[in-house]
């Protein structure tokens, strides 16, 4: 009698949530409101919240194989011993005015999210389902600008411990696709992200994966096609392992940017990126920090700088670069490098960074640009078996518009440079940006 009453309550209160029990375990099956509203895009967020209220602790939540319309923000946190299975499509609305004013704040860089998700001992598996951010509306509206207050991260995994996300596919993310924050022991496996634009505007700020203030992280088996960082470790990311990743048309593997906030030191330690393929990328394996003084006018539309901290023990290993504009870089004034302002003021120390078994082709004649600030020269920089050559060289063609026909490796302020293995043949300028569009001329 109790079981029958509970099921009836769930259906009545939540529209299309059907609850059953198996060995005292609650299982919530979600069905979209459109099934009883002549296919109309009625908001399913209320039903989704109800399902997690009923089954989010010691239960299962199953999105059945239908289209779910998400027209409002979702907060499904504080889950415990919960399994989530996504069989259908989560289709987020394109009501820009709503999202700009309602997205949940995530603290970092004045950013926000459409969905806060998190808990302890939780699995989230996509069983044929996917997340559709309908991002084209955002790409067109944003017109190649960068950070925009209220533009939502697709899903933020928040205050989570022992979380596994497997098989998630995010198509046309609104902003960053995934964000890990204030979490420990989180694994994203078999991740797929695709952000492509069908008009003249690009997919700026559609990072595939970002982590911040989190520890013991795994990203394994991922394919990311987008217009920004493929995988990025932001401040206070520690013990991150990234393995078997394919990146298309983006900025590859990234540490940073870090050092943005004077009152929030950043420590990024023990990070390994390995078995990575970067295809037609702008960058491959790089580190970017803010300058050491606060700047209110920068190219990122997000003021900052002056933060301190340490980047230590980072390994980029087993990379295959294909037509990459700038395979390897360290920059310590990433948003003021255009005119070289403050590049020697960075308070971020960088040490013990290794690039090992890096092979492939460069789009231009530059293999690496490593610029460490005068304030913090970099010890422990190592190249091991790094072999890069320009696409033109592999075709037997000259590099046009330049007298430099050999691969250029720019360096500045590397402690122990002679024993680093870096074949430095040019001094790195302090204003060398992360978007490279031509050969180094002379």
In three-state secondary structure terms, 419 is helix
Q: Crossing angle, helix 45-55 and helix 2-14, to 10 degrees? A: 160
Q: Is 229 a catalytic residue?
A: no
The DSSP bridge partners found for residue 155 are 178
Which residue of the set 207, 210, 228, 249 is catalytic? 228
DSSP state, residue 261: -
Helix (H) or strand (E) holding 209, with range, is strand 209-212
Cis peptide bond upstream of 238, omega within 30: no
Q: What is the DSSP string of 269-306?
A: EEEEEEEEEEES-SEEEEEEE--SS-BS--TTSS-B--
What per-residue string of b and e applies to 163-198 under the rule 16 or more CB within 10 Å gives b?
A: bbbbbbbbbbbbbbbbbbbbbbbbbbbbbbbbbbbe
Q: What is the DSSP string of 354-406?
A: EEEEEEEEESSSEEEEEE--SSSPBPSEEEEEEEEEEHHHHTT---TT-S--S
DSSP state, residue 429: P
162 by Cβ neighbours in 10 Å (0-12 / 13-18 / 19+) ranks as: middle
**Cα distance between residue 318 and residue 271, in whole Å:** 14
| Token pair recorded at residue 137 | 């509306």
- Cβ contacts of residue 419 below 8 Å, gap of 6+? none
**Cα distance between residue 119 and residue 125, in whole Å:** 15
Q: Residue 58's CB: how many other CB atoms inside 10 A?
A: 14
The answer to whether the beta carbons of residues 203 and 135 sit under 8 Å apart is yes
Cite the active site residues: 228
């Amino acid at each position: 009698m109790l079981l029958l009453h509970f099921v009836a309550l769930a259906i009545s209160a939540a529209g299309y949530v059907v609850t059953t029990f198996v060995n005292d375990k609650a299982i919530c099956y979600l069905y979209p409101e459109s099934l009883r509203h002549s296919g109309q895009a009625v908001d399913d967020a209320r039903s989704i919240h109800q399902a997690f209220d009923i089954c989010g602790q010691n239960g299962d939540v199953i999105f059945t194989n239908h289209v779910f319309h998400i027209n409002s923000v979702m907060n499904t946190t504080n889950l415990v011993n919960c399994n989530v299975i996504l069989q259908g499509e989560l289709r987020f609305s394109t009501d820009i005015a709503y999202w700009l004013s309602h997205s949940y704040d995530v603290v970092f860089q004045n950013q926000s999210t459409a969905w806060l998700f998190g808990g302890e001992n939780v699995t989230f598996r996509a069983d044929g389902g996917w997340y559709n951010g309908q991002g084209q509306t955002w790409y067109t509206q944003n017109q190649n600008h960068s950070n925009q207050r209220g533009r939502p991260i697709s899903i933020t995994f928040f205050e989570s411990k022992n979380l596994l996300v497997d098989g998630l596919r995010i198509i046309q993310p609104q902003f960053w696709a995934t964000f890990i924050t204030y979490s420990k022991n989180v694994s994203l496996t078999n991740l797929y992200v695709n952000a492509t634009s069908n008009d003249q505007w690009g997919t700026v700020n559609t990072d595939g994966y970002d982590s911040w203030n989190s520890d013991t992280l795994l990203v394994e088996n991922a394919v990311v096609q987008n217009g920004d960082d493929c995988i990025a470790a932001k401040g206070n990311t520690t013990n991150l392992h990234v393995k078997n990743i394919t990146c298309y048309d983006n900025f590859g593997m990234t540490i940073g940017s870090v050092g943005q906030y004077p009152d929030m030191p950043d420590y990024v330690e023990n990070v390994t990126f390995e078995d990575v393929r970067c295809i037609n990328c702008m960058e491959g394996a790089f580190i970017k920090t803010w300058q050491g003084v606060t700047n209110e006018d920068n190219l990122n539309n997000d003021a900052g700088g002056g933060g301190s901290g340490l980047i230590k023990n980072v390994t980029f290993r087993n990379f295959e670069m294909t037509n990459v504009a700038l395979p390897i870089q360290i920059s310590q004034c990433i948003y003021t490098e255009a005119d070289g302002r403050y590049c020697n003021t960075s308070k971020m120390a960088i040490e013990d960074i290794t690039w090992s078994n890096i092979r492939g082709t460069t789009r231009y004649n530059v293999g690496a640009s490593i610029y460490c600030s005068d304030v913090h020269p970099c010890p422990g920089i190592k190249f091991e078996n790094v072999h890069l050559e320009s696409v033109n060289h592999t075709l037997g063609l000259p590099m046009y518009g330049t007298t430099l026909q050999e691969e250029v490796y720019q360096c500045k302020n590397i402690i122990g440079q002679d024993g680093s293995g870096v074949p430095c043949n040019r001094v790195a300028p302090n204003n060398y940006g992360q978007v490279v569009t031509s050969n180094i001329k002379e």
